Amino acid sequence: MMGGTRPEIHQFLPVLDAGDAIGNEAKQLQRLLRDAGYVSEMYVWRAGKGQKRYCRHYSRHRARSAPGNVMVYHFSVCCPITAYFASAPDRKVMRYHNITPASFFAGIAEEVYYITKKGRRELAQLANVVELALPVSDYNGRELRESGYRAVETAPLVVDYDAFAAAPDASVLRRYDDGWTNLLFVGRLSPNKKQEDLIRMFYHYKRINPRSRLFLVGAARQVPRYREVLGTLVERLGLSDVVITGGVSHAALVAYYKLASAFVCMSEHEGFCVPLVEAMRFDVPVVAYDSSAVADTLGGTGVLVREKRHEAIAELVHCLVEDTALREEIVAKQRRRVEEYAYASTSTGFIEAMTAFIEERQ
Amino acid sequence: MSFFDADIGARRKAELEATIAERMAQRRADGGDPSAEERRRIGDLLDYGRTTFEEITYDLYNARKFVRMFPDEAEASGGPIGWIKRFYQRVVRRVLRQQIVYNEAVLGVLEDLDERVKKLEANAGVEANAGVEDGPGRE
């Protein structure tokens, strides 16, 4: 312990990237912990572009390591930090964001396949050293218990959704605010997120409503081959209005949410899915496939799809876009759900969990 | 069971289901089966998940990983990096990557040769045994 009797609480994450849900949460938590009077730094294995000023390399933590201090490890992939975390004398907390099953990447992304496969192994290895696990959803909590973790408490992802009150990118609005119906999905292009199913659904939707487009917003760099597959799929289906944006700025993201008539998610694996909450925050009705943590995050709101019948889903989306009364009913319930994810409530939950953990030892 | 769920009341949901089914039937009556056409156009494009990478070793994977992370690791642990050092890192990274690709290729060739040698040895063994069993002088 350094700097008095109060323990230091430091966070560890594999990569700190701009616009990444885990990185964004880590920054919020650092602010919270510092406001609560704790010394708190972020340690990473790798810092993304422009992120070095927020964090340090994990090897530099050694100087601050002490048995009474706390390490909070954001776990989502395998990483050299795991071995260091396991061997350090500090008290250990895991923030579990889930690991995408490796099978999604077989045949299309060798590196990610290994990262995720090895990640599962590391997750099991850490069960005996982690004193408290704070999964971001109940779904993640169930997985941890199955992997042998004992003290597991769900604490929803801490996101400041008020940041979306920012001004939208005017150039995006100018380009697409033309009275067309815009269907939106936000998430990196990845086989588990099943953007291919969105394109297939849109093939049918375009026949119903020709004045429509599909926005696929999210970085494509992790699985470049999947981006190629999606491009070929669009060509084969003869679709002209699928907009694959790549990574976008915060202002552009706000613009896409403002333009959206419906948010459609066909993802087959999510540990939480922040964009669902973001869409609800913008009063965009959500249609989502019922997989992994999606139902937990929606909490009975939105429309949950159980079967991937693309043609039927397209009709369902059309009903939701056309029928104002139905849309209003869905959106009103979503609004109440968003309140449960308010920053004030999630941040208090996290700090209380950490305080209880520290006091339990004292 | 319905293909979707929404908290809009049982009656409203049943109406919505009926509307969807009716519209789908109407569209099919007007323009054929769009799902069949969709599948025909896609072909086998989405069957990319049939291969796995079990044959690649963790050592090779880690070597590739090292090459990729090399400059980032150095940057992360220090301050700003000058252009000469950055250029040096880029060159080193490229050389190492080529080295790994070369090693992979050589390993592949060696494994092939090894397989062929084993096959030849196995065949030679069969022939030798055949000679012992059937050759002259055997009692």
Q: Are residues A86 and A229 in the same domain?
A: no
From chain B, the residues in CB contact with A44 under 8 A are: 76
Residue B7: Cβ within 10 Å count: 16
A314 SS3 class: helix
From chain A, the residues in CB contact with B4 under 8 A are: 287, 303-306, 313, 316
Q: pLDDT tens digits, residue range A115-153?
A: 888 899 899 999 999 999 999 999 999 999 999 999 999
Distance CA A322, CA A330 (A): 13
Q: Are residues A20 and A94 in the same domain?
A: yes
Q: Is the pLDDT reported for residue B52 higher than 60? A: no
Question: Hey, are the CB atoms on A107 and B50 less than 8 Å from each other?
Answer: yes
Greatest extent of chain A over all pairs of C-alpha atoms, in Å:
67
Q: Are residues A334 and A198 in the same domain?
A: yes
Task: Name the closest residue on chain B to residue A200, using Cα atoms.
Answer: B38
Angle (deg, nearest 10), helices B34-42 and A310-322 = 120
Q: What pLDDT score does B49 carry?
A: 66
Q: Are residues A149 and A170 in the same domain?
A: no
Whether the CB of A121 is below 8 Å from some CB of chain B: the reply is no
From chain B, the residues in CB contact with A116 under 8 A are: none
Q: pLDDT tens digits, residue range A176-219?
A: 999 999 999 999 999 999 999 999 999 999 999 999 999 999 98
Task: Name the closest residue on chain A to residue B65, using Cα atoms.
Answer: A111
Q: What pLDDT score does B47 carry?
A: 83
Q: Are residues A138 and A171 in the same domain?
A: no
A219 SS3 class: coil
Question: Hey, are the CB atoms on A52 and B16 less than 8 Å from each other?
Answer: no
Q: What pLDDT score does B99 carry?
A: 75
Q: Are residues A93 and A210 in the same domain?
A: no
Q: pLDDT tens digits, residue range A303-330?
A: 999 999 999 999 999 999 999 999 999 9
Is residue A3 a part of any domain in this protein? no
Residue span of the structural domain in which A211 resides: 163-340
Cβ-based contacts under 8 A for chains A and B: 125
Q: Are residues A218 and A70 in the same domain?
A: no
Buried b (16+ CB within 10 A) or exposed e, A273-286: bbbbbbbbbbbbbb
Q: Is the pLDDT reported for residue A94 higher than 90? A: yes
Q: pLDDT tens digits, residue range A224-262?
A: 889 989 999 999 999 999 999 998 999 999 999 999 999
Is residue A1 a part of any domain in this protein? no
Question: Hey, are the CB atoms on A104 and B61 less than 8 Å from each other?
Answer: no
What mean pLDDT comes out for the span A6-13?
95
Q: Are residues A201 and A155 in the same domain?
A: no
Q: pLDDT tens digits, residue range B57-96?
A: 555 555 555 555 444 444 444 556 678 877 877 787 777 7
CATH of the domain at A290: 3.40.50.2000
What is this structure's pTM?
Answer: 0.81
Q: Are residues A167 and A126 in the same domain?
A: no
Is residue A137 a part of any domain in this protein? yes
Closest CA to A190 of A250, A118, A113: A113
Number of structural domains found in chain A: 2
From chain A, the residues in CB contact with B45 under 8 A are: 229, 232-233, 236
Task: Name the closest residue on chain B to residue A104, using Cα atoms.
Answer: B49
Q: Are residues A102 and A132 in the same domain?
A: yes
Question: Hey, are the CB atoms on B41 and A59 less than 8 Å from each other?
Answer: no
Q: Is the pLDDT reported for residue B135 higher than 50? A: no
Q: What pLDDT score does B136 carry?
A: 42
Q: Are residues A143 and A254 in the same domain?
A: no
Whether the CB of A237 is below 8 Å from some CB of chain B: the reply is yes
Is residue A189 a part of any domain in this protein? yes
Is residue A21 a part of any domain in this protein? yes
Q: What pLDDT score does B128 carry?
A: 58
Least confident of A116-120, A261-265, A345-349, B35-39: A116-120
Is residue A93 a part of any domain in this protein? yes
Question: Hey, are the CB atoms on A312 and B3 less than 8 Å from each other?
Answer: yes
From chain A, the residues in CB contact with B1 under 8 A are: 306
Distance CA A261, CA A249 (A): 20
Distances (CA, A) of A222 to A243, A348, B40: 19, 34, 29
Q: What pLDDT score does B76 carry?
A: 43
Our measurement of the distance from residue A182's CA atom to the centroid of its chain's CA atoms, rounded to an integer in Å, reads: 22
Q: Is the pLDDT reported for residue B117 higher than 80? A: yes
Q: Is the pLDDT reported for residue A78 higher than 90? A: no
Is residue A293 a part of any domain in this protein? yes
Q: How confident is the model at residue B134 (pLDDT cuts 50, 70, 90)?
A: very low
Closest CA to A313 of A217, A220, A214: A214
Q: Are residues A209 and A302 in the same domain?
A: yes
Question: CB under 8 Å to A226, separation ≥6 — which residues?
Answer: A108, A109, A189, A190, A191, A195, A220
Strand-pairing partners, residue A270, are none
Is residue A2 a part of any domain in this protein? no
Q: What pLDDT score does A107 carry?
A: 79
ipTM of the complex: 0.84
Q: Is the pLDDT reported for residue B137 higher than 70? A: no
Q: Is the pLDDT reported for residue B54 higher than 80? A: no
Interface of A with B in 124-183 (CB under 8 A): none
Q: Return the percentage of chain B with pLDDT > 70, whole number.
A: 64
Mean pLDDT of chain A: 93
Buried b (16+ CB within 10 A) or exposed e, A255-265: bbbbbbbbbbb
Closest partner residue to A306 (CB to CB) among B4, B19, B27 is: B4
* Pairing mode of beta strands A70-75, A303-305: unpaired
Whether the CB of A229 is below 8 Å from some CB of chain B: the reply is yes
